[in-house]
Amino acid sequence: MNLNKQVLLCVNIDHVATLRQARGGIYPSVVEAAQLTESSGADGITIHLREDRRHIQDADVFQLKEIIRGRYTLEMAASQEILEIAKKIKPDLLTIVPEKRQELTTEGGLNVIGNASELKEFLLEVKKANLQASLFIDPDLATIEKAREIGASRIELHTGKYANCPINSPEAESEFQNLKKAAEFAHSIGFIVNAGHGLNLANLPKILQIPNLEELHIGHSIIARAVIVGLNQAVKEIKDILK
């Protein structure tokens, strides 16, 4: 049962750019992908401009600003270089994520407790630029509390550990309960709560039992599914679950 009255779907299209960059060409187009994704029912587009520029490029960030009609979320490390780009395009949301050059994908949430002073200063810079920021964090109550202490008002819960568990396994149930408790606690202390990472057609319905989720950010599974059934169908399948 979906306890969220209106949970929004923001589709991460990074891996359209991954395919393009595999040959350093001009296709597939992330702009065309964004337009088709929105016309298929997505509420917004998410991209991650990494410091190593392995997929999304600077030009993509600016081109997408011109055509996205829904919510535009820019994922980024707490990087001054990327923040300067964000100041120019003014996305609807910045999601601050950890980055490691050698990782295949984001491996976990921010170390908010260990990097509290740096993140607090960075959030102040974001606020001065009149931008909204979210912290991508693990479902840990102490981390959520520290996020509030440093001035965050929105978080995205990392669902990767849950997503990596076998469906309906005891391990999946344990990770789900961690997410549920974290979301409930975060909402109770005033956070807007988003979630994402590793969600797909099979494991998404369980996540919708978590109340008060604002947005889900889903990328790899949709783009992978699109290889088989097309982007339009892949987006609609997820939207049907959310409805």
Distance in angstroms between the alpha carbons of the first and the last residue of the chain: 10
Q: Which two tokens stand for residue 116?
A: 């509290």
Contact 177, 156 (CB under 8 A): no
CA 8/CA 48 separation, integer angstroms: 18
- Under 8 Å between Cβ of 30 and 18: no
Say if CB 205 and CB 172 are below 8 A apart.
Answer: no
Question: Which residues carry out catalysis?
Answer: 48, 75, 197
**Cβ within 8 Å of residue 46, ≥6 positions away:** 10, 11, 12, 13, 73, 74, 75, 95, 217, 219
Whether 129 contacts 87, CB under 8 Å: yes
Number of residues in the chain: 243
Q: Indicate the SS3 state at residue 159.
A: coil
